[in-house]
Amino acid sequence: MENIIEIKNLTKSYGNLVALNDFSLTVKKGDILGLLGPNGSGKSTCINTILSLLKFDKGSIKIFNQEMTPTNYQVKKEIGVVFQDVAVFEELTVLENIDYFCGLYIKDKKTRKQYIQEAIELVALQEFVKFKPKQLSGGLLRRLNIACGIAHKPSLIFLDEPTVAVDPQSRNNILEGIKILNQQGATIVYTTHYMEEVEQLCHHIVIMDKGQIIAKGTNDELKNSISTSEKITVEFLDNEEAFITTLNKNPNILQIDQTDNTIHISYKTKEHNLNELIELLSKNNIQYRSIFSERPTLNDVFLELTGKELRD
């Protein structure tokens, strides 16, 4: 499939701080690529550099097979950006904001009017078109921010943490909207530190830390790449130290973390672990309040690769 973005050996420093370190990335047409990493990992710097807003020390950036420069308006015409901070004008209404930004791309008034209407419907702001931004809730404001970035129907969209501090309803609305945009043919680069969003939305995931790519692949590929295959959590009624010591002898168990009366067990393989554990608990007459199994998360992937939590 055609490459929409090709970044090679990109390095960007702020003084002594290396924000992007020999960063290379390819994004295929029609993909939803998730850039996942903790705050300060270089996600926003990466996007701002791709957009030719920031100077960089070395490397190359190609979008639609053309070198990206601040004056490559042909490429810019095809790009939509939703920034992390809400970038709308307090002085303009919802409709005027969308019209202003869309008008920077689409000159034809009739086409623009239709596009604006579709953008408003996509983010469900029909009832608020005459509102000023300060009259909107945080979630609605985020939706307006998105509408301003995508109203011109770009074929490549960058969304930089668009759901930060958003209520669940607005978050679902935003994520559904992004899926629709992708179904309509847009390639999407989505940065976040919410792993659930990435799991729900992205076809491919790039995990970043300290300006470098530390892992990439599909959701399953990433989860399968680590040694933990299954995690089981058990909440006991009492402290069961003896039982935990017994469990530790199981060669299929990688690690047991204990918090009060609760244990989190990491297994190497994922076959029959829950059944075996329940049987063992019953055999030993151990009473427990709850027990459940889960697959490893992207946080586990990040934890195993870096030794720290994604949300640190």
Four-residue CA torsion sign, 239, 244, 245, 246: positive
Q: Which of 118, 144, 139, 294 is nearest to 223 (CA)?
A: 294
Q: Which of 8, 21, 59, 86 binds another protein (CB under 8 A)?
A: 86
Nearer to another protein, 6 or 96 (CB): 96
CB of 29 to another protein, least distance (A): 20
Cα angle for residues 80, 191, 37 (degrees, 5° grid): 160
Distances (CA, A) of 7 to 28, 62, 70: 12, 6, 16
Nearer to another protein, 100 or 292 (CB): 100
87 binds another protein per the rule CB under 8 A: yes
For residues 257 and 207, give the distance between their C-alpha atoms in angstroms, rounded to a whole number. 25
CB of 122 to another protein, least distance (A): 18
Nearer to another protein, 73 or 168 (CB): 73
- Amino acid, single-letter form, for residue 267: Y
CB of 33 to another protein, least distance (A): 18
Q: Which of 81, 141, 207, 213 binds another protein (CB under 8 A)?
A: 81
Q: Binders of another protein: how many residues, by CB under 8 A?
A: 34
Q: Which of 1, 2, 16, 85 binds another protein (CB under 8 A)?
A: 85
Q: Which of 74, 183, 287, 290 binds another protein (CB under 8 A)?
A: 74
Beta carbons within 8 Å of 29's beta carbon, 6+ residues apart: 1, 2, 3, 4, 187
Nearer to another protein, 45 or 182 (CB): 45
For residues 87 and 28, give the distance between their C-alpha atoms in angstroms, rounded to a whole number. 28
Cα angle for residues 150, 201, 4 (degrees, 5° grid): 55
Q: Which of 137, 131, 136, 145 is nearest to 98 (CA)?
A: 145
List the structure tokens of 267.
């297994």
Site string for another protein, 203-232 (x = CB under 8 A): ------------------------------
CB of 73 to another protein, least distance (A): 4
CB of 36 to another protein, least distance (A): 21
109-118 long-range contacts (CB < 8 A, ≥24 apart) are 115/151, 115/152, 115/153, 116/151, 118/151, 118/153
Cα angle for residues 117, 192, 259 (degrees, 5° grid): 135
Distances (CA, A) of 201 to 33, 102, 106, 154, 190: 9, 26, 29, 19, 9
Q: Which of 149, 162, 211, 296 binds another protein (CB under 8 A)?
A: 149
Sites for another protein among residues 9-68 (CB under 8 A): 14, 48, 51-55
For residues 54 and 67, give the distance between their C-alpha atoms in angstroms, rounded to a whole number. 15
CB of 135 to another protein, least distance (A): 14
Sites for another protein among residues 88-117 (CB under 8 A): 88-89, 91-92, 96, 99-101, 103-105, 107
Name the residues that contact another protein, by CB under 8 A. 14, 48, 51-55, 69-71, 73-74, 76-77, 79, 81, 83, 85-89, 91-92, 96, 99-101, 103-105, 107, 148-149
